[in-house]
Amino acid sequence: MNILNKKKIFQSLFYYFLLICVVIWSIIPIYFVVSSSFKIPRDIFGYPPSIIPVETTLSNYVNLFIDSPEFMPAIRNSGIVALSSMLLTIVICLPAAYVFSRYKQSLFRQIAILLIAIRMFPPLVISVPLFPILNQLKLSDNQIILIILYTTFEVSIITLILKSFIDSIPFEVEEAAYIDGARMDQVFFYMILPLSKPVLVGISILVGTYAWNEFQFAFLFTSVNAKTTPVLIGEMVGALTGIQWGILFAASVVQFIPALLFLWIIQNQLIHGMAVGAIKG
Amino acid sequence: MTDFKPGAPINFVGLSNFKRILSDPNFINSFWTTLKFVVFGVATQMILGTLVALLLSRQFLGQKLWLSLILAPMAMSPALLGTTWKYLLNTEFGPINYAMLKLGMTPIYWFTNSTYAFLALIIVYTWNQIPGVFILIYPSIISVPKELKEAAEIDGANKLQVFSHVIFPFIRSALLIALIFRTVIALRAFGEILVLTKGGPFRATEVLSIFLYKEGFVYFNWGTSAAVGVVILLVTIVVASPQIRLLARQMILD
């Protein structure tokens, strides 16, 4: 083997080493949460901290689902809010994106620019004026308000993503349909909608994950009935009676796994299709 | 611009809420803390995110798996992020302090010392945000034609020269967009800070959003709280305006 080859192999080994370092940095914190959720209390506080659980147990999960009466409702609330925001966003955005893509009057363009500006709006700023209004309308601590807020904050960016997708569908196909006497609603439902399906899956997941994970609005606007999982986890950390780490780890894992799976499903779209105006928050 | 408090009559008070916050040392403190947080937080995540993207652009065996693992932190909810790191950095039983002890360093009381608490916040935030930078930079790095890089290497350019002369021109606009967008996101960081440190110790991590929350939702000073909101909004507009203008121009051109 000549010297040049040796140098190449050494170099590539070095890059693999760097890669392993980056990967370890990314997943070690997650690994500790997951492995700790299977530890008995003595091992969670054990010194030195055990990397692999010494004694595995499911008792944290059993305690979570049986002894924590708040957890199941919180998961249910998160699910309802995520699913509804997802559907509502799609129902609003797909027709809007279609219009933005196919009708290029200047009024629509100005509105499209407004959409980008809205995307930049800090959500916290709106919660101050919103709070008294929601109390008056008796909408605080209600899933509906979370659904409306999440949808509002996602509509702008999702419309833009969908618009750029519809831009890529050649208009000639539609033209042919119009010549054959199709109405606009027929074109929309029988052509645009089926063609958009793959993008809609990705977008639904994006919105769903956002709603599933969102903390700020849920924390400010829910107290008992509509409390979502992230808020509950935040409360468990801040508990004055001391943190029950075992249950907390189990709750964290149950909350995290769906978000992670969703992320992995849309990973490719996220990396290659999201150059459109900087997506994730 | 009113002195609104629940139950009390509302009066128009002009700019006095702004005068009040500007003379409040806690507001000034949180303004500087925000600035520090944004500068350090965004700088570290941009540098590390770009380096990770450069590394991954070499295309390793099992590339897809590595990408999945590196992106994983961005699936974390702010609440979960705070929880996880509160455990990792725990002084009594956290793995990080144990590792430091083993390496011969003295354990750090992360959340009782102002400097360390701020440092901890930057580490945690960077960990969470690197994938966000990554997904914005990586596509533009892999779009750099291989021949260009190879040609430069044959001409004897070193790694740094290849980056600054070949890769950088390709990813400049992606970097700019990422920089602006990550700054806007950093300005609105709230949940992770609330769960991790609650703004403490001694207001060392109290950024504007936490200050706004305390003013409005803890002390019920809605007027001053809204004034803080206006300040956050103004800063965001200043930061975001180049990108909005850029995107607007693209929108008009197509």
Instruction: Considering only the beta carbons, identify the residue of A26, A237, A279 that sits closest to B82.
Output: A237
Cα–Cα distances in angstroms (integers) from residue B90 to residues A38, A47, B96, in the given order: 19, 12, 8
Residues of A in contact with B220 (CB under 8 A): none
CB contact under 8 Å between B236 and A120, yes or no, is yes
pLDDT of B95 reads 87
pLDDT of B11 reads 63
DSSP B54-67: HHHTT--TTHHHHH
pLDDT along chain B (254 residues), means of 10: 54 75 87 94 95 91 92 93 91 84 84 91 95 90 84 84 86 86 90 88 90 89 88 89 74 59
CB contact under 8 Å between A46 and B93, yes or no, is yes
Instruction: Considering only the beta carbons, identify the residue of A23, A219, A270 that sits closest to B69.
Output: A23
- Residue A281 pLDDT greater than 60, yes or no: no
Give me B18's structure tokens.
Answer: 């702004």
Least Cα distance to A266 among A21, A86, A115, A23 occurs for: A86
Residue A225 forms part of a structural domain: yes
CB A33 within 8 A of CB B87: yes
Give me A234's structure tokens.
Answer: 């935040």
What is the domain count for chain A? 1
Instruction: Considering only the beta carbons, identify the residue of A120, A238, A264 that sits closest to B244.
Output: A120
How far is the C-alpha of A275 from the C-alpha of B81, rounded, in Å? Answer: 26
Q: What share of chain B is helix, strand, coil (3-state, %, to 5)?
A: 75, 0, 25
Residues of B in contact with A265 (CB under 8 A): none
- Residue A1 pLDDT greater than 80, yes or no: no
Cα–Cα distances in angstroms (integers) from residue A184 to residues A102, A189, A268, B32, in the given order: 11, 9, 32, 55
Kindly report the length of chain B.
254
- Judged by DSSP in three states, A263 sits in helix
Nearest CA distance, B58 vs chain A (angstrom): 9
B73: containing domain: 16-253
The pLDDT tens digits of the residues spanning A205-227 come to 989 999 999 999 999 988 888 89
Higher pLDDT, A229 or B254: A229
Residue B7 forms part of a structural domain: no
Least Cα distance to B85 among A258, A53, A32, A242 occurs for: A32
DSSP B254: -
pLDDT of A280 reads 36
Neighbours of A240 (CB within 10 A): 5
How far is the C-alpha of A176 from the C-alpha of A182, rounded, in Å? Answer: 9
What is the domain count for chain B? 1
Least confident of A54-58, A106-110, A168-172, A182-186: A106-110
Residue B4 forms part of a structural domain: no
Note which residues in 200-239 of chain A have CB less than 8 A from chain B.
Answer: 209, 212-216, 219-220, 229-231, 233-234, 236-238
CATH number for position A130: 1.10.3720.10
Residue A40 forms part of a structural domain: no
CATH number for position B201: 1.10.3720.10
Residue A242 forms part of a structural domain: yes
A252: containing domain: 62-272
pLDDT of A63 reads 85
Higher pLDDT, B26 or A241: B26
Residue A56 β-bridge partners: A39
How high does pLDDT run on average in chain A? 85
Positive/negative CA dihedral, A223, A252, B73, A46: positive
Note which residues in 80-109 of chain A have CB less than 8 A from chain B.
Answer: 109
pLDDT of A87 reads 95
Q: Which chain B residue lies closest to A15 (C-alpha atoms)?
A: B55
The pLDDT tens digits of the residues spanning A164-209 come to 888 888 888 888 888 888 888 888 888 888 888 888 888 899 899 9
Residue A14 forms part of a structural domain: no
pLDDT level of residue A277 (50, 70, 90 thresholds): very low
CB contact under 8 Å between B60 and A256, yes or no, is no
pLDDT of A68 reads 81
A41 and chain B in contact, CB less than 8 A? no
